[in-house]
Structure 1
Amino acid sequence: MAYYGGIEGGTTGSRMVILRADGKQVGKSEGPHTNYWHLGMSEAARRIVLLVKDALQNADLPVDTPLKSLGLALSGINTELNSMQMIEAVRRINPNVAERIHACNDAVGTLVTATDENAIVLIAGTGSICKLIRKDLSFVRIGGLGYLLGDEGSAFWIAHQAIMSYIKITEGLYHAQYGIQRLTEAIYKHFGIKHYHELLSHFNENIDKTFIAQLCKYLAEAARDGDPFCKQLFTDAGVHLGRHVSAAVKHADKEGLMAPEGIEVVCCGSVFKSWDLLATGFRSGLKPQHCGDCQQGRINLRLLHITAAVGAAILAAKLECGISIPRPDQVTDFLCEISLTGHDSQRDL
């Protein structure tokens, strides 16, 4: 029996699945993130090998069972060079982990999990990235350059904006348009602090982006309770995510990839748990800002509800072994449809 593995490695955590050629999932595992930009190539590879071991155990297979192929859909992998470096690092730790290994960005794994068509992938978890991915898997990238150079609309970005706003208001640099009591409570509760100076260790000593991003849970609770400051944080995040998609749509339109029924936007990541808080800002971000922006067609947003590890396994099996593993049915949930032509009653509020 041949087995095909796939790993989805984001900056929040990682998931693996083992599939048979008929698409049946026989094993799975979960573990910490595998972004080599934060861990180094060797540690990321060690975590990948451990994920494989755990998934084989979950499948009741010997831990030395070689996979026919292993797909790695990882945040941080964006070039042919670092793809090969990751594969080599994995093989140094376990040369027999799989007969063939394929590495790509997590956005590509997300796409293949959902569709074979041209589509836009929008990921907003701890970090964020948007890509227009063509059928041949070539792509145009927007954002996704890390928390220092971008990641707008991500959970880390929302948390960072909240903390920066709190500090500047507290120190008198800015005047608060809204009260910040709920914002203050959220920050102090999440970090377990009594004074904001205690935040320094979280941002200077072994910064844990995932933990900082988890502040969003409390901010979302406050926003849903009607706190105007926290609601605005998510609206602003929605605007940035909308601008990312607008940029991708512009490229799709120029290349003639906007089908009459619209282009699909496959959404993935924990931030979309707060879609109700993002939606208004997202629609606003899609408004044309200049003459180069696309002003025709429509986009169909769908939320991926299974792991992109499935797409990673399917892709590696196809490209490395010539095996077509069937995709599971109904892997996405409908979020909304937005017209880019003329007036949109919700977008143009």
Structure 2
Amino acid sequence: MKVFAGIEGGASFSKVALLDENGNILSRLDSEPGTNIMLMTKQEWVDRIYQMVLKATHQLPKKPDGRGYQLESIGLCLSGCENEEVNQELCELLKSKHPELCQRYSIASDTVGSMMTCSPDGGIVLIAGTGSNCLLIYTDGSQYRCGGWGHIIGDHGSAYSIAIRSIRYLIEHEENYAPIEYDVSNVRKVVFDHFKIDNYLDLIKPLYQEFDKSYIAQLCAPIAKLAIEKNDPLAMKLFNEAGKALAQHVKALIPKIEGDEISVICVGSLFKSWSLLEKAFLDEIGRIPLRLNLVYCNATSAIGAAYYAAKVRAKIKLPIDHEKNYQTLCAYHDGQKVY
């Protein structure tokens, strides 16, 4: 049995999938630590990758001879892996440190794994999880991007961005720098409860002294709950702004699109709140001369990572039913929803 590994990795968590030559998932891990290379040393990154792949292989049935499995290829589609030169260096580092694990590695951006999971023939991948990114990919390998610049100068429309903007609104309101015309008490309570504080000055510690991007981004979930269950105006405003920001990523790539129709693969936990994002998103897209088919990737992108490495490194095209890996959000054309 030939085994192909794929890893989906972000700042907050990673997922692993091991597939056989028929595209069946043999083993998977869904709650592994984050693998963004920008947030750790290269040695820490290598050790983390090795341990999670090893953990996944231990779930495989034992071979008759008792020996472990030699993986045909390992695909790593991770946030932070945007630089091809660095990716190649990481491949060589993995092979030198753990030659027994695998000799065929392929490393690419997390957007590539999402595309290969849902639409290997190309399209736009829009990621909105802890961070955000957007990539237009064609079958010939050409790519155009907008975003993916991290939390300091990017991540617009992401969970982290929503969390930070909520804090900024509260502080600016509290100090009368930019007061808000409606009640902020619900969002303030959610923020204080999340960070376990009772005053604004105590935000210094989690935001600066003990900064954890993933932990800050987790504040987005209770804000979404406020918007859905209580129609809280500030919570709604935050998601409207996020919807607009995510649409701006897609709009930036529209001039590069060939043809009159394209799929937009939406990836990340933020799209679970599509009802809060949709109106502002579509309003910002506006009237465009092509049709956007927006779909939500509901399968792990580790599948696409395995598919990508198998195709590129092992020269094997795994027979994956990609249509099973997504659900349709809506189709949009000429200023209106088609369905």
**TM-score with structure 1 length normalisation?**
0.92
**Distance in 1 (alpha carbons) for counterparts of 2:34 and 2:68:** 23
Decide whether aligned partners of structure 1 residues 44 and 206 sit closer, same or farther in structure 2, where only a CA change above 3 A counts. Answer: farther
- Preserved contact between residue 330 and residue 337 of structure 2 (Cα < 8 Å): no
* Aligned mates of 1:242, 1:208 — CA distance in 2: 27
The one-letter code matched in structure 2 to 1:11 is A
Query: In structure 2, do the counterparts of structure 1 residues 79 and 205 end up closer, same or farther at CA, with 3 Å as the change threshold?
Result: same
- The answer to whether residue 114 in structure 2 is matched with residue 110 in structure 1 is yes
Please name the residue that 2:194 is paired with: 190
Unaligned runs of 5+ residues in structure 1 are 289-294
Structure 1 match to 2:6: 6
- Select between 230-239 and 176-185 the one with higher mean Cα deviation: 176-185
- 1:250 Cα shift? 2.0
Asked if structure 1 preserves the Cα contact closer than 8 Å seen for 2:239 and 2:277, the reply is yes
Q: Report what 2:281 is aligned to.
A: 282
The within-5 A match list for 1:68-147 is 68-147=72-151
SS at structure 2 position matched to 1:120? strand
1:1-349 residue pairs with structure 2 within 5 A? 1-30=1-30, 31-61=32-62, 64-224=68-228, 225-252=230-257, 257-259=258-260, 262-287=261-286, 295-328=288-321, 329-339=323-333, 341=334, 343-344=335-336
Q: For residues 189 and 96 of structure 2, what CA distance do their matches in structure 1 show? A: 48
Aligned residues: 332
Equivalents in 2 of 1:186, 1:63: separation in Å? 52
- Cα deviation for residue 63 of structure 1 reads 8.6
CA contact (8 A) 1:2 1:67 kept: yes
1:53 and 1:63 in contact (8 A); partners too: no
Find the aligned partners of 2:281 and 2:332 in 1 and give their Cα distance.
Answer: 10
Note the C-alpha offset of 1:146: 0.2
Task: Kindly provide the amino acid, as one letter, of the partner of residue 274 in structure 1.
Answer: S
SS in 2 for 1:330: helix
The one-letter code matched in structure 2 to 1:155 is A
**Secondary structure of 1:148's partner?**
helix
% identity of equivalent residues: 34
For structure 2, which runs of at least 5 residues remain unmatched after alignment? none
Q: Give the Cα–Cα distance (whole angstroms) in 1 for the partners of residues 337 and 281 of structure 2.
A: 14
Structure 1: how far apart are the matches of 2:146 and 2:45?
24
Secondary structure, aligned partner of 1:66: coil
Shift of 1:64: 4.8
Contact 1:153/1:238 (<8 A) preserved: yes
String of CA shifts for 1:33-67, please: whole Å, max 9, x gaps.
Answer: 10010112211111111110110112235795321
Q: Deviations over 1:71-112 (max 9, x none)?
A: 010111112211112212322431221131111111011101
Q: TM-score, normalised by structure 2?
A: 0.94
Structure 1 runs of 4+ off > 6 angstroms? Answer: none
